[in-house]
Structure 1
Amino acid sequence: MSVSQTTMDKLYGMRLSVMAQAYRDQEEVPGVADMTFDERFAMIVDAEWDGRRINKRTRLLRQAGFSDPEANVIDIRYDADRKLDKAKMVELSNCGWVKARRNVVITGASGAGKSWIACALGVAACNAFYSVRYVRMPEMLDELTVAKDEEWLKSKKRYTKCDVLIVDDWLLEKIRGEQARELLEIVESRLRTGSLIICSQFSPAGWHAKLGEGAIADAVIDRIVYRSDVIHIEGDESMRKRIG
């Protein structure tokens, strides 16, 4: 079988480069002359399909902006003093919670490994072809409390349109009323559009004081907690010392 250059040119012209290469590579496949048209065509389509999925996964991982893009759920440490439930972590890594639009709240002391586990779950979501965005809460609030221009709208869409939003350093300090209102808007929108992963040094019971104690605080906490899996990481030694 010899490939047609005209067909190759058309495939490249339609940006089907993987399919074009698979078409050319069939010249080297043993026994290709004995294959049916459907068998040869299926091989070419499979190559294009796989190539697009790989490219999509790569793009999702790049766009997520993880603080630790190499984090992987298979590398989670289950040291006895951390008191992590391995079965629960495996369940979360399967991303059923994303499909159900549930949240994950990860709490623990500074250095406990909250951010790393959040990124590991985020990477698992990207591998399942969900869109993810990682951001530190101070940076997000800075973006959302500036003048409401076109750039502000783009920023807000980044936090509301993705399947999973990871908010790190959640409520490290008390926030202002305007910030609390913008936070409520983000949380409210995510009820309809997707899931949250929140990393906090404080349990949800301690969020009220940081949010201002009023109705906005009640609304933010209620919208997050009622549909969340809460993971608390124990242990007195930080992960930096454990892996050092």
Structure 2
Amino acid sequence: MAGESTMDKMHQMRLSVMARACREREEAPGISEMGFDERLAMIVDAEWDARRVGKRMRLLRQAGFPGPDANAGGVRCDDGRKPDRAQMLEPSNCGWVHNHRNVIVTGASGAGKTWVSNALGVAACNAFYTVRYTRLPEPLGELAVFKDADWLKQRKKYIKCDLLIIDDWLLEKVESNEAREITEVIEARDRTGSLVLRSQLALSAWHAELGSGAMADAVIDRVVYKSHVIHIEGEESMRKRMGGIG
């Protein structure tokens, strides 16, 4: 039986779950018949599980998803609409994040692209990868400015995470200085992280929206050749289906 001194030390070391588990196990039926190793394993497992749950919740909160309850299993796969469940299973296992590959989600407005991209991000958080969600205007507004200490800090947050999800990709044509900044971020992440790009535009239209030329070539070469593409089809808006309109 652990004494009060031992309990106090556990709390001081921020092992409060382990301390609580130790106290609860002392009163559990049949605990006296268990060996030391078995009892220790039960207490350590309680602390381990609690820390993993806490880490997962922290990653989800830091990611900044507009839809934190999104999940790959909840993606609607109605008749006449893609992706189907088989197409979602491969990226939802997060092997692509481990291998620093990308996912591109395309489709018409209201098709459910943001939900799919969020579901992939939530799956990555569940696998304990660091994720950041943003809309393209946000990094462009932060990075296409004078390069001071704050600029370096903002740039770092888009580079250091394991997975960067960019929503509203090329919804509007970007200026040459903006294209340069996003190119630098993508090149910096090329060997160290993954991207999810959510766009209404087909890949064939990207070049023109990036201003053509060498920078457009660089972005497309860095992203597209190592990407899994999910195109969501269907003439009826997912917002309309979910809202029960018509």
- SS of equivalent residue, structure 2 residue 80: helix
Q: CA deviation at 1:149?
A: 2.3
**Letter in structure 2 aligned against 1:56:** K
- In the other structure, the counterpart of 2:130 is 131
- SS of equivalent residue, structure 1 residue 22: helix
Q: Distance in 1 between matches of 2:224 and 2:230?
A: 12
- SS of equivalent residue, structure 1 residue 69: coil
- In the other structure, the counterpart of 1:67 is 66
Q: Distance in 2 between matches of 1:162 and 1:197?
A: 12
**Letter in structure 2 aligned against 1:159:** Y
- In the other structure, the counterpart of 2:28 is 29
Over the matched positions of the two proteins, sequence identity in percent amounts to 64
Q: Distance in 1 between matches of 2:153 and 2:17?
A: 33
Q: Distance in 2 between matches of 1:178 and 1:116?
A: 30
Q: Distance in 1 between matches of 2:50 and 2:113?
A: 33
**Letter in structure 2 aligned against 1:116:** W
Deviates more, 1:232-241 or 1:143-152: 143-152
**Letter in structure 1 aligned against 2:114:** S
- In the other structure, the counterpart of 2:177 is 178
Q: Distance in 2 between matches of 1:150 and 1:68?
A: 32
TM-score, with normalisation over the residues of structure 1? 0.97
- In the other structure, the counterpart of 2:197 is 198
Deviates more, 1:30-39 or 1:164-173: 30-39
Q: CA deviation at 1:53?
A: 0.4
**Letter in structure 2 aligned against 1:110:** S
**Letter in structure 2 aligned against 1:29:** A
**Letter in structure 2 aligned against 1:106:** V
Instruction: Give the unaligned 5+ runs of structure 1.
Output: none
Q: Distance in 1 between matches of 2:135 and 2:205?
A: 19
- In the other structure, the counterpart of 2:152 is 153
Q: CA deviation at 1:100?
A: 1.1
**Letter in structure 2 aligned against 1:21:** R
- SS of equivalent residue, structure 2 residue 26: helix
Instruction: Give the unaligned 5+ runs of structure 2.
Output: none
Q: CA deviation at 1:84?
A: 1.4
- SS of equivalent residue, structure 2 residue 228: strand
Q: Distance in 1 between matches of 2:72 and 2:65?
A: 14
- SS of equivalent residue, structure 2 residue 191: helix
* Superimposed CA distance per residue, residues 161-206 of structure 1 (whole angstroms, 9 cap, x where no aligned partner): 1111000000111111111110111111111221000000111210
TM-score, with normalisation over the residues of structure 2? 0.96
- SS of equivalent residue, structure 2 residue 198: strand
**Letter in structure 2 aligned against 1:124:** A
Q: Distance in 2 between matches of 1:111 and 1:28?
A: 55
- SS of equivalent residue, structure 1 residue 170: coil
- In the other structure, the counterpart of 2:79 is 80
Aligned length: 243
**Letter in structure 2 aligned against 1:36:** G
- In the other structure, the counterpart of 1:57 is 56
- SS of equivalent residue, structure 1 residue 208: helix
- In the other structure, the counterpart of 2:166 is 167
- SS of equivalent residue, structure 2 residue 190: helix
- SS of equivalent residue, structure 1 residue 82: coil
**Letter in structure 2 aligned against 1:8:** M
**Letter in structure 1 aligned against 2:92:** S
